């Protein structure tokens, strides 16, 4: 069966990547390509919608697609668990709502890095995240850092974050200090640093090329038609084979 995909954010870097993947895949077909000026009605009739736009635009796109019964894969950042809860309530309240798959990071290395961080979290009292992205990124902290911090917070409760009221100590997300760098020359990188008794552990993931997102985008697009409700994270679509699966 061919899956017809409507791409929101089609003129952007991620949107262009999605268009190429859809063109190359025999089981995917482009239904519509939307930019910031497009009517969302263009999505109607698609089997799956793909949102890679702007944190300020994503909620309207997600609600439109879900409300129209179109499953949507959301790659746009800026979705905290609090905002996701609002969409979950919306989906629960609409019997015919399309499924919503929030994927903070399509890269398998990043997903594993987050899973390893969740695994390590109960063993360390000091945990901080340093993320670096290209200078054009409009949101901070990154969606990946928010997701990682939320999973760490859920796995262990509060971390030790001395003097967290000082601005240079970062932004607390689920009690975890997150430091965001925005630098020319960088694509994306995340370091989760754990401080213990006489030791530190650092889990680093570096995105070197957008090709790292390709397999995850294809997996999410192919999974969406069969999905229901709200899913968060590519790990939910993968068998990571780790204890304490990252949910
Ligand atoms: N989940 C993941 O693995 C990844 C997620 N991302 C996230 O994806 C998003 C897009 O990233 P990227 O492609 O680099 O961004 P770009 O700036 O390259 O592209 C943004 C796209 O969104 C559109 N857009 C901007 N504002 C609006 C609006 N108000 N309504 C509708 N469409 C709008 C733009 O259209 P126009 O041309 O008309 O302005 C453009 O097509 C970001 O949130 C980023 O953090 C990025 C990489 C990986
Ligand atoms: O804007 C980006 O580039 C990225 N955004 C996502 C995020 O906010 O985590 C994913 C990836 O880090 C690239």
The reply to whether 204 and 112 lie within a common domain is: yes
pLDDT of residue 240: 84
- CA gap 247, 242 in Å, rounded: 12
Q: What rounded mean pLDDT belongs to the chain?
A: 96
Domain holding 126, by residue range, is 108-208
Instruction: Say if ligand 2 is within 6 A of residue 148 CB.
Output: no
How much distance in Å is there from the Cα of 100 to the middle of ligand 1?
18
pLDDT of residue 245: 53
- CA gap 106, 222 in Å, rounded: 13
| Residue 76 falls inside a structural domain | yes
The reply to whether 66 and 150 lie within a common domain is: no
Cβ within 8 Å of residue 228, ≥6 positions away: 99
How much distance in Å is there from the Cα of 166 to the middle of ligand 1?
32
pLDDT at 136 over 70: yes
pLDDT at 242 over 80: no
Strands 200-207 and 188-195: antiparallel
- CA gap 240, 247 in Å, rounded: 11
Nearest to residue 71, comparing CAs of 87, 55, 54? 87
Predicted model pTM = 0.96
Q: Which residue carries 């609090």 as its tokens? A: 82
The reply to whether 171 and 231 lie within a common domain is: no
The reply to whether 25 and 90 lie within a common domain is: yes
Is residue 118 part of the annotated active site? The answer reads: no
Nearest to residue 99, comparing CAs of 200, 223, 244? 223
The reply to whether 81 and 95 lie within a common domain is: yes
pLDDT in tens, 176-199: 999 999 999 999 999 999 999 999
- CA gap 16, 236 in Å, rounded: 25
- CA gap 169, 57 in Å, rounded: 30
Return the CATH number at 77: 3.40.50.720
Domain count for the chain, please give it: 2
The reply to whether 129 and 203 lie within a common domain is: yes
């Amino acid at each position: 069966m061919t899956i017809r995909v409507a791409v929101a954010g089609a003129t952007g870097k991620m949107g262009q990547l999605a268009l190429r993947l859809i063109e190359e895949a025999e089981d995917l077909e482009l239904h519509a390509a939307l930019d910031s000026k497009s009517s969302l009605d263009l999505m109607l009739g698609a089997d799956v919608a793909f949102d890679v736009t702007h944190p300020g635009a994503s909620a309207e796109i997600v609600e439109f697609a879900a409300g129209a019964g179109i499953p949507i894969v959301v790659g746009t950042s800026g979705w905290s668990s609090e905002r996701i809860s609002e969409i979950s309530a919306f989906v629960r309240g609409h019997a015919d709502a399309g499924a919503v798959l929030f994927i903070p990071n399509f890269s398998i290395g990043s997903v594993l890095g987050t899973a390893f961080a969740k695994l390590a979290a109960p063993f360390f009292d000091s945990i901080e995240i340093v993320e670096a992205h290209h200078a054009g990124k409009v949101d901070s902290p990154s969606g990946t850092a928010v997701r990682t911090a939320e999973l760490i917070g859920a796995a262990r409760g509060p971390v030790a974050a001395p003097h967290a009221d000082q601005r240079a100590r970062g932004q607390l997300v689920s009690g975890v200090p997150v430091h965001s760098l925005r630098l020319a020359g960088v694509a994306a990188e995340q370091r989760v640093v754990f401080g213990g008794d006489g030791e530190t552990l650092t889990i680093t993931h570096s995105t070197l090329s957008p090709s790292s997102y390709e397999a995850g985008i294809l997996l999410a697009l192919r999974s969406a038609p069969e999905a229901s409700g709200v899913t968060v994270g590519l790990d939910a679509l993968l068998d990571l084979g780790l204890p304490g699966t990252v949910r």
